[in-house]
Structure 1
Amino acid sequence: MAQKRPRLAVLDGLRLVAALMVVFCHYTASNDAWGKPAKTLFPELHRVTQYTWVGVEVFFLISGFVICMSSWGKKLGDFVVSRVTRLYPAYWFALILTVTVITLFPEVRQVRSWTDVLVNFTMLQEGFRVHSVDGVYWTLFVEMKFYLLFAIVVWRGVTYRQCVLFCGLWTVASMIMQVAPSDFLDMWTEPSFTPYFVGGIALYLVHRFGPNLLLGGIVLFSFVLAELQVSRRVLRLQYDTTNVHHTIPAWPAQLVVAGAFLFMTLLALGVFNRIQWRWLTVAGAMTYPLYLLHQAIGLAVLHHLRNRVPALPLVLGVVAAMLLLSWLVHRFVERPVSKWLGKAMKQGMADLRRHSDPPIREERSAVASVPPEEPVKMLTRT
């Protein structure tokens, strides 16, 4: 039987670290905001931040852990409500603010089409091959596909057995995609990121039920595949604007992934249970708005101030401003809108359940409610 465990406050801190990794990659490794190679502005920092896009992989590892944890014991309708209220309120606000900023200051990012903007409100734009208003939104579609696949487990009931089966089937499907390419399989298996989600699920099972050879094997297998996939990602990204005119080795990115798996393993084993600092919860709450807001808006600010403020102080100032904006969005937008949206969705789910009984059941209940002597009285009157 699973033992009750303390809140994983350190996990919130890791989420913020992963978000800041991505932020610094976009601000100091990308050339977009500066009009010149970022490497010339940040010669030492660039050596590190050209790899910190791996924060996305860390996010996916955390996501597998958290989604398995938060869906345990929930029904499918509750799972859907929790995911919608978690994803959409901050996203809608960030999208509106981003569109406003890049419309007023279109030098770095532009609005391509207002129809595209409307489609972006669904968060499904990547699935319809519509341009994302902000570049970071592509990861949200990857997350959403994971939620849709894991919803099958929630529908059947989240159990130890079902989670292990899900991990095995998803890993096999991603392997089939490697040897027999298919657009359909590529869309749904996400072979580049499968090991992180699967590893996160297995690590939550370790946290909940304790370690054993089966779960250890799944985590180790996922780690090896993650190392393979991140090395392939380096090869694909090394010719991007971030690293123009030179190639980079894969081992630093692989080292970050190894560190993330090690940290999450220690967390699953309870090593960090005594760390319950309150500010870590605040850090976790700020993470999602920070991720949504930082890229297009931050690059626009950096571009406009790049000739007025020294590069490094400017970056640090924009990061601080983004952190403050993220807290404000969480406090005054995400929390109240999520609460309202949650109530509305729960009412919708209640209506769905209430009106989903087969019509024949309603007819039978109506017939059963007629007193048996009523037909006799009707015949007598006739």
Structure 2
Amino acid sequence: MHRLKELDVLRGFAALNVMLYHYTTRYFEIFQIQNQPKFEWYFGHHGVELFFMISGFVIFMSLQNVKNIKEFILKRAIRLYPAYWICILITLFISAVYSIPRSNDFSSFQILMNFTMIQGIFEIPNIDGVYWSLLPELFFYFLMGTLYYLNFLKNIKIIAIIWLIWMILNKSGLFPFGEYFLNLKYGMFFLAGIFFYNLKFKKGAIVDHLIVLSCLFTAIYVNGETYNLIIYPVWFATFYLFIGGKLSYFNWAPLLFLGSISYPLYLLHQNIGYALITYLYTYFPNYFIVILSTSLMMFLLAWLVIKYLENPLSLFLKHKFLSNLNLSEKSKITTDLNHFSHKNALEKSR
């Protein structure tokens, strides 16, 4: 299946939303800075929910195109962990060189646990605050992988209804079990992504629309902030535009670039960004200039991570661990490796 550029645009938009929230709102809340700029982007606080919807769509799509559970696990691990490990090392290095505000003095055990991505289960602090959202992703991957292995994905509609009812009962206090491990706070966004996939590629019936709308109302009920009455319908409407082919107008090079660096940008931007804002403000006492400069530097850092670290490492891991794929996929991986090596050789010869 060809790559959906609109999803890259949405990823970039979600990452930018979260980053702007942290830089224009959260930074000033954390450090109790009085001369807060007049502009802020509180709505970016909900960019993570858009990420979850994208994940629901992509994971369900991936499960339609894998041969077995081992392939699914390896592909997800290679997609998530290399960039994550690299970003942890960069954050730790910068934390050691510069004084990052509110950074914890992590023990060796806590650092090692952070490399697993499951540190939240054991209430071990995250090296960077944004890592919290990776655990709901892992829980969702585990659930979907289990359903795939048991051949239960054909019953996804029944599973969705049971899951949504469980979320509502849990929020109501009538069935207060499993909130953490069953994603009862954010599972409706993953579910919505699944049924948007059905609507786009499987000519979903009216029941798929009804489940999507149920996901929206459940999200508003379970996560009852006033802003959610605005933001959540916007995210769902955006996905309806996507499945209707209306987001292709936004396939612009800058937005696609932002989507291509969205994962490391998300992982790197918070603590390092706070340090940059604090440092730059001592020389340029204008928060608009400082936030703009910090954002541009984070774009550059994320791009460097993708180009020179994450891409070659991921290609190596794919070649090593996914060698039993079908020949066309294996040929593509080998071609990518050869292209990467040839491109690097050309750049060094200049």
Same fold, TM-score > 0.5, yes or no: yes
Aligned residue identity for 1:69: M
Alignment partner of 2:257 out of 282, 290, 295: 282
Which residue among 104, 108, 125 is the counterpart of 1:110? 104
Q: 1:326 aligns with which of 302, 314, 320?
A: 302
Distance in 2 between residues matched to 1:191 and 1:33, nearest whole Å: 28
Q: Which amino acid aligns with 2:175?
A: A
| Mapped partners of 1:127, 1:96: distance in 2 | 21
Query: Is the 8 Å Cα contact of residues 193 and 226 (structure 1) preserved in structure 2?
Result: yes
Partner of 1:93: 86
> Is 2:227 the partner of 1:270?
no
Residues 125 and 32 from structure 1, CA distance in 2 versus in 1: closer, same or farther, beyond 3 angstroms?
farther
Question: What secondary structure, in the 3-state scheme, does the structure 2 residue paired with 1:334 have?
Answer: helix
1:22/1:215 Cα in 2 relative to 1: closer, same or farther (>3 Å)? Answer: same
TM-score, normalised on structure 2? 0.84
Equivalent of residue 213 in structure 1, options 203, 206, 218: 206
1:236-247 equivalent positions in 2, closer than 5 A: none
| Matched-pair contact (CA < 8 Å) for 1:23–1:295 | yes
Report the alpha carbon displacement of residue 220 of structure 1 after superposing the two structures with TM: 0.6
Q: 1:84 to 1:172 in 2, by over 3 A?
A: same
Q: Distance in 2 between matches of 1:93 and 1:186?
A: 31
Cα distance, 1:87 vs structure 2: 0.4
User: Contact 1:103–1:110 (CA<8 Å) still a contact in 2?
Assistant: no
Give the deviation of 1:34 after TM superposition.
8.3
Structure 2's unaligned 5+ residue stretches are 326-350
Match of 2:131 among 130, 133, 137: 137
Cα distance 1:145–1:34, how it changes in 2: closer, same or farther (>3 A)? Answer: closer
- Give the C-alpha shift of residue 151 in structure 1: 0.4
For residues 275 and 241 of structure 2, the distance between their equivalents in structure 1, rounded to whole angstroms, comes to 39
Q: Residues 293-304 of structure 1: matches in 2 within 5 Å?
A: 293-304=268-279
| CA shift for structure 1 position 140 | 0.4
Alpha-carbon deviation of 1:280?
Answer: 4.4
1:34–1:176 Cα change, 3 Å:
closer
| 1:227 equivalent in structure 2 | 220
1:230 to 1:173, Cα distance in 2 relative to 1, 3 A: closer
What RMSD, in angstroms, separates the aligned Cα atoms of the two structures? 2.4
Aligned 8 A contact 1:207 1:270 in 2? no
Deviations along 1:167-188, one digit per CA (max 9) or x if unpaired, are 2332233334332213xx1222
Task: Show the counterpart of 2:339.
Answer: none
Deviations 1:143-177 (A, max 9, x none): 00000001023224585x33323323322333343
- CA–CA separation in structure 1 for the residues paired with 2:209 and 2:261: 32
Q: From the CA coordinates, give the structure whose radius of gyration is larger.
A: 1
- 1:37 correspondence with 2:33: yes
Separation of aligned partners in 1, 2:99 and 2:324: 40
Residue 42 of structure 1 aligns to a residue whose secondary structure is coil
Aligned equivalents of 1:66, 1:255: Cα separation in 2 = 25
Q: Give the Å deviation of 1:269.
A: 2.7
The answer to whether the Cα contact below 8 Å between 1:203 and 1:268 also exists between their aligned partners in 2 is yes
Structure-1 residue corresponding to 2:24: 28
1:19 to 15, 22, 46: 15
Give the Å deviation of 1:101. 1.3
Structure 1 segments unaligned to the other structure (5+ residues): 235-249, 350-382
Q: d(CA) in 2 for partners of 1:55 and 1:191?
A: 18
Q: Identity of aligned pairs, percent?
A: 29
Trace 1:150-189 onto structure 2 (pairs within 5 A). 150-157=144-151, 161-178=154-171, 179-182=174-177, 185-189=178-182
- Secondary structure at 2:181's aligned position in 1? helix
Q: Distance in 2 between matches of 1:273 and 1:153?
A: 32
CA contact (8 A) 1:13 1:283 kept: yes
- 1:77 corresponds to 2:52: no
Aligned to 1:67: 59
Q: 1:215 to 1:33 in 2, by over 3 A?
A: closer
CA distances 1:18-43 after superposition (whole Å, capped 9, x unpaired): 111111111110246984436x3222
- The count of aligned residue pairs is 321
When normalised by structure 1's length, the TM-score is 0.78
Match of 1:255 in 2: 230
Post-superposition CA distance 1:269-320 (Å, at most 9, x none): 3333576545544332200010000001111111122221121101001101
Q: Which amino acid aligns with 2:131?
A: Y
Q: Work out whether residues 9 and 250 of structure 2, in 8 Å CA contact, stay in contact via their aligned partners in 1.
A: no
